[in-house]
Amino acid sequence: MSGIMLNWDDSAFFYYIHKGYGKDVKDKQDALACSKAVIDQYEGSGVTDFLMCVNARLASFPSITMENYGDSYNRKIQNNEKVDFSDTWASSFNKVFNEWGIDYFQIWSDRLKELGIKPWISIRMNDAHDTLADTTFLAPDFYYKNPQYRRITHHKTQKYFDGLFDYGEEEIRKRFLGFINETLTRYDVFGIELDWMREAFCFKIGMELKGIEILTSFMQDVKNIVKSHEERKGHDISIAVRVPSRVETCLYLGFDVARWAEYGLVDNVIISPRWSTTDTDMPVEVWKRLLQPYKVSLSAGIEVLIRQNRQADYTYNCMETVYANAVSYFSAGIDKLYLFNFMTMPELFGADRENKALYTLYKNMFDILKGCKDIKSLLTKDRRHFVTFNDLTAPWEKSLYYVPATCNPSKSEPEIFRIRTGRVSINLHAYIQFGIDSKENNICDEDIFIYLNSKRINGLSKIDEPDYYIKSDRFICKIPDIGILNDINIIEAWSLTKEFTITHIEILICNKRKGWCK
């Protein structure tokens, strides 16, 4: 299969209208035109499934089962304090829904069907935005009035995820089942995504294993709700779950995805990072084997951010890194590519031109979406395959980083890096690119052994051109025969003469030979 699942978050539409950067949605006609134009920008792209996120901690439509942003706009007291949220982007919600009577989700759904793109609902199952704030326009009063439903009650709530709801509480499960039913009653869509990555910590510390049965029962309740709407509307409604990328992390947090698949409770599994980076090495092959006995498709999600460890600066994906991840994961066997936080308004309305990397990504978005629609379209594209990391682990797990990696001649073993590239065309050129810190500011073949898939690679050269992603000195060497590359590659780096630190490593694949190398 092929195609792109694109998630639009719950607040981007209101945020962009509120921010504006000199543009303005002045009246109802402007808002209607803007709503339609959001979807029109995906006509002819590779987007096959469009996921409309309808909530975070509040609903993004005038819900009767969950407080919404209109309630926040009108709120005067919260958590026993006086508040005024009328100057936040909740004011845009109030204009669009309450003053002008526009349901832009309905407009989107109707237009998507006209374009042959499947509309989905996406529901965040346990959002955490501003959980530590004493007051915030992002939170419902329900949260402040019911601290007993939080996952951390045995000590002071002090970490970002401490204030999440505890799905061990029946009241919380009923709350979200009611919201799911209300949303499917309101909107006629072809799929519903349960986004467990917002957030994946759904039980009290130490109660995660007991949560397995609780969430499996919850998923059965969701399936029953969906079946009732399928019968009423006369068509299938797919159920997707977005979950952590590692199978064991899923299970030990309470998400028994294999059983959900076995019981027919899910149609699509989306593995993805949480937020702080794109994970370039998710175990797609493991998931494919796990789901193989069942009629369940697999999607791989990428984030708008990409970086190599938690200490690195936040940097945004570019066209070449998105293409790289798409090739890697389609080659590994995914059915669809899933994009999170890749929302753009028509004509870049509301985009910040000062943020050059993000603005450039947005400007190239249509070409990216068209280029990522299938593996055939991707094989001719320039790509940058980074080493990154898994940014979502259970509380008792630790994130492991490939870089920074310090090499010195006293070490008896090389530093080892694993990089997915997926399929490559023999007509392209390939390089290994490094960021390296060293006291001498120079590294050459006499200082380092580099092996790619057990083949020695020579010709390391320093490049003086700056690079957005590489903060250290930049070095590159050509891979003499692109046929050396496998779908998954192992690079070994071994110091011969001096100590140095590898801060960045990637495999670069491009159409034209670069003039940097020896």
Flag whether pLDDT at 352 surpasses 60. Answer: yes
- CA angle (138, 107, 116) in 5-degree steps: 120
CB 507 within 8 A of CB 430: yes
Its pTM surpasses 0.95: yes
pLDDT of res. 164: 98
Q: Report the alpha-carbon distance of residue 401 to residue 415 in Å, rounded.
A: 12
Written as six digits, the tokens of 231 are 């019968």
Flag whether pLDDT at 167 surpasses 60. Answer: yes
Flag whether pLDDT at 350 surpasses 80. Answer: no
pLDDT of res. 24: 75
Three-class DSSP category at 339? strand
Give the tens place of pLDDT for each residue, 1-54: 689 999 999 999 999 888 765 567 889 999 999 999 999 999 999 999 999 999
Give the tens place of pLDDT for each residue, 191-232: 999 999 999 999 999 999 999 999 999 999 999 999 999 999
Flag whether pLDDT at 346 surpasses 90. Answer: no
Among candidate residues 242, 235, 256, 123, the one with its CA nearest the CA of residue 188: 235
Average pLDDT over residues 305-333: 97
Residue 39 main-chain phi, psi, to 5 deg: -80, -35
Which CATH number is 3-381 given? 3.20.20.80
Flag whether pLDDT at 165 surpasses 70. Answer: yes
Flag whether pLDDT at 513 surpasses 80. Answer: no
DSSP string, 54-110: -BSSSBSS--SSS-BHHHHHH--EETTEE---TTSTHHHHIIIIIIS---HHHHHHH
Give the tens place of pLDDT for each residue, 402-426: 999 999 999 999 999 999 999 999 9
> What are the b/e assignments for 419-456, b being 16+ CB within 10 Å?
bbbbbbeeebbbbbbbbbbbeeeebebebbebebeeee
Average pLDDT over residues 235-242: 99
CB 252 within 8 A of CB 244: no
Three-class DSSP category at 463? strand
Written as six digits, the tokens of 10 are 């719950």
Average pLDDT over residues 437-445: 88
Average pLDDT over residues 466-482: 97
Flag whether pLDDT at 56 surpasses 90. Answer: yes
CB 48 within 8 A of CB 118: yes
Q: Classify residue 484 by its DSSP letter.
A: G
Q: Report the alpha-carbon distance of residue 445 to residue 189 in Å, rounded.
A: 58
Flag whether pLDDT at 90 surpasses 80. Answer: yes
Contacts of 305 (CB under 8 A, 6+ apart): 275, 276, 277, 278, 314, 315, 316, 317, 341
Residue with tokens 């009732």: 228
Helix (H) or strand (E) holding 242: strand 238-244
pLDDT band at 441 (very low <50, low <70, confident <90, very high): confident
pLDDT of res. 319: 98
Flag whether pLDDT at 349 surpasses 80. Answer: no
Average pLDDT over residues 80-85: 98
β-strands 448-452, 238-244 pairing: unpaired
pLDDT of res. 516: 56
Give the tens place of pLDDT for each residue, 93-141: 999 999 999 999 999 999 999 999 999 999 999 999 999 999 999 999 9
> What are the b/e assignments for 328-356, b being 16+ CB within 10 Å?
bbbbbebbbbbbbebbbbeebbbbeeeee
Flag whether pLDDT at 399 surpasses 90. Answer: no
pLDDT band at 515 (very low <50, low <70, confident <90, very high): low
CATH class of 405-510: mainly beta
Mean pLDDT taken over the chain: 95
C-alpha gyration radius of the chain: 24
pLDDT band at 282 (very low <50, low <70, confident <90, very high): very high
Average pLDDT over residues 370-389: 95
Paired residues of 78 in beta bridges: 81
Written as six digits, the tokens of 164 are 């999440």
User: To the nearest whole percent, how much of the chain has pLDDT over 70?
Assistant: 98
Q: Position 139: which residue type?
A: A
Average pLDDT over residues 54-75: 98
Q: Report the alpha-carbon distance of residue 28 to residue 102 in Å, rounded.
A: 8
Flag whether pLDDT at 182 surpasses 70. Answer: yes
Q: Where are the domains of the chain?
A: 3-381, 405-510
pLDDT of res. 23: 64
Helix (H) or strand (E) holding 428: none
Least confident of 12-16, 42-46, 75-79, 277-281: 12-16
β-strands 238-244, 191-195 pairing: parallel
Terminal C-alpha separation, the chain: 41
pLDDT of res. 518: 52
Residue with tokens 């400007």: 363
Q: Report the alpha-carbon distance of residue 219 to residue 202 in Å, rounded.
A: 14
Among candidate residues 185, 33, 161, the one with its CA nearest the CA of residue 96: 33
Give the tens place of pLDDT for each residue, 448-461: 999 999 999 999 99
